[in-house]
Amino acid sequence: MLLAHTAQANDTLSLPGYEHPVNLDAFKASLQRPEPPELGPALQALWWDAQGDWDRAHACAQVDEADPSAAWVHAYLHRKEGDLANAAYWYRRAGRPMAREELIAEWFAIATALLDDV
């Protein structure tokens, strides 16, 4: 698993089976569940990536290739696999510069930005 996290009492999501608010701690706590929360394909892709399932993450990132958020996650996933040329294409599609930070830092940056939009 990409992220180690101990659930806290206030870790909740505003979805069926979850409660409000949606935040990074709640998203990380959801990694203890068997399925990702229904927060859209880009966040589901990050969830599957944190579970170590690159293929499912990649499939989620491809659901809506016109979505800049999904393109950003798609870029991250190709950078993670070492396909930098493909990653650069998806960063351009996302309207973002090629990431240079550690992968875990980028995962957190993407998750934070996408959760801010929920």
pLDDT of 51 reads: 95
- The CA-atom distances, in angstroms, between 19 and each of 12, 40, 48, 76 are 5, 17, 21, 29
| DSSP track, 21-90 | PP-HHHHHHGGGSSS--SS-HHHHHHHHHHTT-HHHHHHHHTTTTT-HHHHHHHHHHHHHHT-HHHHHHH
Mean pLDDT of the 102-117 span: 94
Per-domain boundaries in the chain: 40-116
Instruction: Write out the CATH class of domain 40-116.
Output: mainly alpha
Q: Is the C-alpha dihedral spanning 15, 107, 8, 21 positive or negative?
A: negative
pLDDT of 88 reads: 98
pTM: 0.81
pLDDT of 70 reads: 97
Confidence at 113, pLDDT banded by 50, 70, 90: very high
Confidence at 87, pLDDT banded by 50, 70, 90: very high
